[in-house]
């Protein structure tokens, strides 16, 4: 990769080592089905966003430099009002902008398309990266806007109702100045042959390379503790603690975290003293409820359902005796909102 793109830059902000590795394609891409689905869905949403603007022209080029040249041409063409998939190259940086709209005063509005239904602070970093590259390329932008999904959209509605717009100009301008000040330093570190030394930080917790980087060969890492808060992680790191065994006895932990810590220190499994009482309190016949739900679809798949709405697709209930013999079986396959399903499920359970 010739240029520093958004992913490299944002990963660098999380951790210089991660940014350096990203530039060298050292981060394995997830092949999990849901990740591939999300990637596919993001592509579709970007395409749908182009229909939100009338007569948008794509500046896509088979190579980055071709796309960047074509973008310049389209910006200069007075007949073109909206450009999508625009590319900008400046210094060693490359930005791909989802949509650019020309305003009456010949300035531009930049739109970043997201497949979420809520604003997230991290989107400001994404837009500010584009803003930084455009500033380096001396392209004047008047407004920075976020195009995200409307909770009110329902299956079958017009695409114009699928998106909502949020003006992020003020926040982006502040962040862009910060990024411009950092950009030379980041460029130097990224292009260096020497990888920045990894060190433990809160961001390591969800890092894709944790097991081959800072977490390599570390047993019972503090990140294995359930629901460890960011504040606790930061406090432990300041104390130089990376494993559960090293956590000081007076360090504040939750009840469950204390149980886990004790299991690690003693090597003895934990069995709740109430378990036997609980098991004996369950009376025959037994009911086993199983259900499947879908929550990840940004584009509604069926009627009454909005973007990212969780809905049940099926449930089943088995009634058994103590030996596990099935005495009765109930099931339902559905594609209806969770609220309706809850009613049907409750009805089934009450009728049993």
Residue 225 CB, nearest approach to ligand SF4 (Å): 17
Residue 296 CB, nearest approach to ligand SF4 (Å): 25
Separation CA 60–CA 64 (nearest Å)? 9
The answer to the question of residue 15 lying near ligand SF4 (CB under 6 A) is yes
Residue 223 CB, nearest approach to ligand SF4 (Å): 10
Residue among 1 and 157 whose Cβ is closer to ligand SF4: 1
Site size toward ligand SF4 (CB under 6 A) is 11
Strand partners, 82: 56, 101
Q: Tell whether omega for the bond before 3 is within 30 degrees of 0, i.e. cis.
A: no
- Tell me which of 18, 113, 168, 317 binds ligand SF4, using CB under 6 A: 18
Residue 218 CB, nearest approach to ligand SF4 (Å): 11
For CA atoms 225, 229, 233, 238, the dihedral sign is negative
The answer to the question of residue 133 lying near ligand SF4 (CB under 6 A) is no
Residue among 210 and 304 whose Cβ is closer to ligand SF4: 210
What are 187-190's contacts with CB under 8 Å, separation 24+?
187/4, 187/91, 187/92, 187/93, 189/12, 189/16, 189/19, 189/20, 190/4, 190/8, 190/12, 190/19, 190/20, 190/23
User: What residues between 164 and 223 interact with ligand SF4 by CB under 6 A?
Assistant: 198, 203-204, 207, 209-210, 213-214
The answer to the question of residue 312 lying near ligand SF4 (CB under 6 A) is no
Q: Which residues contact ligand SF4 (rule: CB under 6 A)? A: 15, 17-18, 198, 203-204, 207, 209-210, 213-214
């Amino acid at each position: 990769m010739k240029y520093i793109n958004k992913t490299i830059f944002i990963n660098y902000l999380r951790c210089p080592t991660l940014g350096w590795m990203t530039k060298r394609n050292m981060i394995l891409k997830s092949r999990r089905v849901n990740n591939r689905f999300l990637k596919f869905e993001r592509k579709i949403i970007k395409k749908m966003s182009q229909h939100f603007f009338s007569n948008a022209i794509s500046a896509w080029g088979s190579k980055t430099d071709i796309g960047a040249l074509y973008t310049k041409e389209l910006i200069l063409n007075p007949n073109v009002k909206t450009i999508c998939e625009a590319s900008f190259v400046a210094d060693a940086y490359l930005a791909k902008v989802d949509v650019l709209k020309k305003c009456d005063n010949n300035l531009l509005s930049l739109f970043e398309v997201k497949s979420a239904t809520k604003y997230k602070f991290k989107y400001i970093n994404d837009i500010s990266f584009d803003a930084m590259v455009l500033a380096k390329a001396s392209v004047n932008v008047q407004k920075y806007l976020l195009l995200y999904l409307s909770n009110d959209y329902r299956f079958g509605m017009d695409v114009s109702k699928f998106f909502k717009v949020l003006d992020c100009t003020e926040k982006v301008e502040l962040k862009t100045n910060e990024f411009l000040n950092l950009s030379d330093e980041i460029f130097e570190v990224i292009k260096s042959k020497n990888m920045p030394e990894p060190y433990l930080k809160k961001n390591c917790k969800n890092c894709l390379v944790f097991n081959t980087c800072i977490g390599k060969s570390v047993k019972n890492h503090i990140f294995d503790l359930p629901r460890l808060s960011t504040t606790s992680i930061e406090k432990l790191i300041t104390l130089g603690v990376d494993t559960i065994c090293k956590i000081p006895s007076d360090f504040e932990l939750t009840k469950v975290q204390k149980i886990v810590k004790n299991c690690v220190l003693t090597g003895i499994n934990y069995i709740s003293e109430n378990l036997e009482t609980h098991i004996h309190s369950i009376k025959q016949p037994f009911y086993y409820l199983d259900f499947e739900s879908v929550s990840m679809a940004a584009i509604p798949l069926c009627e009454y359902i909005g973007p990212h709405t969780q809905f049940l697709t099926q449930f089943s209930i088995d009634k058994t005796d103590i030996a596990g013999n099935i005495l009765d079986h109930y099931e339902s396959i559905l594609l209806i909102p969770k609220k309706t399903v809850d009613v049907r499920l409750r009805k089934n359970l009450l009728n049993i």
